[in-house]
Amino acid sequence: MPNVVDDIVAEVAALCRENRDGAVADYIPELASVPADEFALCIATTDGYVYESGSARTEFTIQSISKPFTYGLALADNGPAAVAAKVDVEPSGEPFNEISLDPVTERPRNPMINAGAITSAALIHGADVAERFERIRRCYSRYAGRELTMNDAVYLSEAKTGHRNRAIGHMLRSFGIVTGNPDDAVDLYFRQCSIDVTCRDLALMAATMANNGINPVTHERALATEQIERVLSVMTTCGMYDAAGDWVARVGLPAKSGVGGGVLAVLPGQIGIAVYSPRLDAHGNSVRGVQACSELSKRLELHFM
Ligand code: DON
């Protein structure tokens, strides 16, 4: 029997579906052909129940939503002090792909912008890119509760055109933030961004964060509780880039967006929310993703800050 959350999810989905604002990302050629008007909204609870609406099982690439998960793995591999020596936790107010370091600390300002995310990728342990990627893929799969795979076409498309990220990688190498081969770090970053997920997967990944790092369906631990705390803090202040302030005011939850059209948000101890809608705003955030989270936050009184 449908409960009140089912009704609210259906209501918010119906409202947002009407919105045709924004445009799909086309700077990665393969993303230009995604179906612009697809829409899905899912909520997963920390006791493992999933509410689904729309194309909840359609796959799309995770893109920047990968950043908090790789940051968490970097914390687990290296410890918080070693990671903090390489990447700060300050909001940047900058676009996600800004070629910048903090002029005082000479570190990327946070792990959610590309400079910080490529730094996190460079900190992942493993003998080579293949082994590091396999550790990342398995880590994301534990959050989702199923085996995730990489979308080769999107990876190859970004690898062919991602000169700005290569410039960021070489900048990081020249400042001693990345100490190994910067092209390997950028290649690993392209691969993690190309992992396919569904809206349902993202909701369960968010619910795993809400559940202190334990997947609420498989009961497998994806990350230690203290590292989850650090990841959620950075998502709160930096997850939506130069729209982070507006997001916190409107939605009030730790979150992360990706140019594939996904957005996830976390209400610690309670639920994970995910939206899939490929049309993006000027910040690279899903238009209907922001709208749906804002509507849900209002109707379910989720604003916890
Ligand atoms: O760095 C890039 O260009 C992409 N692979 C990921 C960027 C992204 O998703 C930004 N988020 N909204």
Q: Which atom of ligand 1 is nearest to the CA of 63?
A: 9
DSSP secondary structure, 202-241, as one string: HHHHHHHHHTTTB-TTT--B-S-HHHHHHHHHHHHHHTTG
Interface predicted TM-score (ipTM) of this complex, two decimals? 0.98
User: Does 231 belong to an annotated binding site?
Assistant: no
Burial class for 246, CB neighbours closer than 10 Å (0-12, 13-18, 19+): middle
User: Does 134 belong to an annotated binding site?
Assistant: no
pLDDT mean over 25-54: 96
Ligand 1 pocket check: which of 259, 279, 290 to mutate, most ligand atoms within 8 Å of Cβ?
259
The string of pLDDT tens digits covering residues 206-250 is: 999 999 999 999 999 999 999 999 999 999 999 998 898 899 999
Instruction: Identify the residues whose C-beta falls under 6 Å from ligand 1.
Output: 63-64, 96-97, 114, 158, 165, 193, 257-259, 284-285
Residue 267, pLDDT above cutoff 90: yes
| Whole-number Å distance between alpha carbons of 113 and 248 | 17
The string of pLDDT tens digits covering residues 185-208 is: 999 999 999 999 999 999 999 999
| Whole-number Å distance between alpha carbons of 60 and 154 | 10
Q: Which atom of ligand 1 is nearest to the CA of 65?
A: 9
User: Does the pTM exceed 0.95?
Assistant: yes
pLDDT at residue 132 in the model: 98
Q: Distance from the CA of 186 to the center of ligand 1, in angstroms?
A: 12
Q: Distance from the CA of 236 to the center of ligand 1, in angstroms?
A: 18
Residue with CA at minimum distance from ligand 1 atom 4: 63
User: Does 64 belong to an annotated binding site?
Assistant: yes
Domains of the chain in sequence order: 4-61+197-300 (3.40.710.10), 64-193 (3.40.710.10)
Q: Which atom of ligand 1 is nearest to the CA of 96?
A: 10
User: Does 158 belong to an annotated binding site?
Assistant: yes
Record the tokens describing residue 85, joined without a space: 């020596």
